[in-house]
Amino acid sequence: AHTGNLFYCFVAKAVLGIPIFTKDGETNMSEPGQPIFVPGDKRELAQIPNSLPPIHYHALVAEAGKGHRVERHREFVVFDGSRLVLEYIVAYQRH
């Protein structure tokens, strides 16, 4: 039995493929001014420039840092669940 002070964390493997990187959550770090999302839909990432046939980026990496949209931890976002494999669930207590 636990005291109610129990927290859970998932540990998963992810295939990032070709990721797009951002500091502000809106534009590509590698191609300044290029939006990271398809216009009007934040559920799908932008197309990779000059890809034939057109291919969308596979994952989003939000870089952390002072003045960035994410300040504390780098975030990896995968939009396709088939690119994830749940490995473990970890239970822990904070003291």
For 49-65, what is the mean pLDDT? 94
Q: pLDDT, tens digit, for every residue of 61-79?
A: 999 988 888 888 999 999 9
Q: What is the pLDDT of residue 1?
A: 58
For 26-52, what is the mean pLDDT? 92
Q: What is the pLDDT of residue 2?
A: 61
> Do 12 and 84 touch, CB atoms closer than 8 A?
yes
pLDDT tops 80 at residue 4: no
